[in-house]
A and B are shown apart, each in its own frame.
Chain A
Amino acid sequence: MADNRPKKHQEDDAMNGSKLIVPKKPGLSRRKAIKLMGAGAAAGLAAGPGFVRYAQAQSSEPIRIGFQVHRTGIGAAYGRWYERTTTAAAALINEQGGINGRKVEIIAEDDGTDPGRGAEVVEKFATQHKCDVGFGTLFSHVVMGSAPRAGELKLPYYVVSEGHHVASTGLNRYTFQPGITDVKSQVIAMAPWIAKNVGKKVCMIYPDFAFGHDHRDYFSAAIKAQGGDVNALIPIPPTESSFTRYFPQIPADTEVIYHVMVGPAVLTFVKELGEHFGSSHPALFGFIDSLEAVDLKSPGLEFLEGSYLWEAYPRFAGASPKPHDTFYREKVGVDANGASVSDAADISTFSHMFGCWETLFILKRAMESAGYQGPADKAKLIEATEAMTSFAEGNEHPQGDKQFNGKIHQCFGHQNITQVKSGVAEVVYRTTIEEGLYEPEGDYTKMAL
């Protein structure tokens, strides 16, 4: 290809590794477009405009972390706490001298918990704010909508979502989830304990969309592997606000009800379940996702007494918390009950937001081992992240130690099963990391950078 464009553009293309189309004969769109605009389009394609070179970051400039936050929309309750945790972690990193001697600056933009706007926000981080990385997305659909844009714009993108999307290797080389275990691993890790201690005949109640389907598929397989059985599947459409009429579908021989409802209607769900069963009911096992940001002592939740919950990071510190747990709570501003220190009624999303904290410290470590100086070192940053294998428990990883699989860009940690006793969830079992491991489904490191 005879590229007679200005040298700068050629360099930019080389740097971005992008392939322009190769015009073998003139005139791409020969139809109406040409009639309307002359041969302009084809000329424009060859000329390759639009690329403005990244300003070479000075070493005194801060490292800019684009934080995609759900301030509005369905994820707003989580977004608020993600933001608090992120701010606290960034402040701590800066106190400790920043990353490679540079301060960290968090640039937060609301994505409305909308995949369309999320993609735009990623574009804005990469090209307008000139961020070094994108970070912090929770809701899976926003991750899915944004990740392709991050991949194209070659913006390293660290999500905190617990979805299986990253580990499925269906995204791209630039998208990571190093700070929180994915749902497939969570579910696999807990199935053995449930089968052994709670019951083998499981009735699953889950939202009828991707998040619920992940639970359905992974848990059904995992419980069967334990000699258990899912005796009924009750999918609930996302538009539902009352659940009473679904409960008669729960078979009488059910030993465990496994529920993973999410969204604003979950309290109703638990209350109505309580009204349906009264005091004699099958054992309950639920994901804390249903009750994040909700007080376990809320009216109507008495029914949860004695039931089991999955928690990534137990909300209640318990009688003898570890020093790094106390340290983390203090820095974020959360008390031993997982509520805000300034308002005891303001409950945090404790089992998810630690992911923001840990991801930022992982980013720091990756940038330091890559000797990261600016966007020109992006490839080195990606490779340094992929090269990591484990994270040790401590102030930087208060939830616990983790393994990281660089091939699938996903970390694996311990899961906690807690039981509600007088409105307080106490840990009854902590899974090992090995219980949550599964065969990798692909390999990101084979993709081009």
Chain B
Amino acid sequence: MKEEHKHIKAKKYGMVIDLDKCTGCGACMVACMAENNVPFKEDETDKLLSITWLRIYKLTNGKPFPETDICYLPRPCMHCEGQHGHAPCVSVCPATVTDYDMETGIVSQIYTRCFGCRYCMAACPYHARYFNWWDPVWPEGMEKYLNPNVSPRMRGVVEKCSFCFPRYQVAKDKAMAEGRREVEEHEYQTACTQACPAGAITFGDLNNPKHAVYKLKMSPNAFRLLERLGTNPKVYYISSREWVRRSGDNYLANEVKIKKL
């Protein structure tokens, strides 16, 4: 039994997003909202009040025509590892609401324990955390379409992308029932990964050489957002364009080469 345990290395679920493939269609955002029962309001004009676990940013190289170039960048929660699991948001939460799971590398959020101090939002440099300024109100009949595996949240608590963790629980239960200890790569995929028509998002265990993300993250064109802050995120981006890679972090004017950390 002990021997068996040794073989099971801790998982580190993460994502690799190929920005050269992303068209900014927004299917991932819609899939995410449907999967995770993300509430919405009648008027979503003010995006700083909208809850978007996955948000697409539009980046431009700032050059005039004909050198103008744009790039769409989907931004889920980065599930930062920080140093030894000290993600920016995890250590600040006063009520142990959010936690870095050493077994999966997923940063969790216990909605029923959160009392809405919003310190985690102040700590997150990616703006990946959202506050429920209102109670969720679903349009007539829509409550029947809610995902029964994901608990809806109430007013006054913080929520964020969970890498569709309930799907992992379902996959693990299934594997257990079938007498397996391991969840296969295809058995646990996030909603955004499956919804992306361009196949830009790849999800899996970054520690597992059999998973696609393992190799993809090693691409010379791979980078992470704000690596220099030491957040140690688990979402990688790939782009063949130098300006896109440079947009992932801040550099001083005299730093010509992107520092690889």
The answer to whether A and B assemble together is no
A residues apposed to B, CB below 8 Å: none
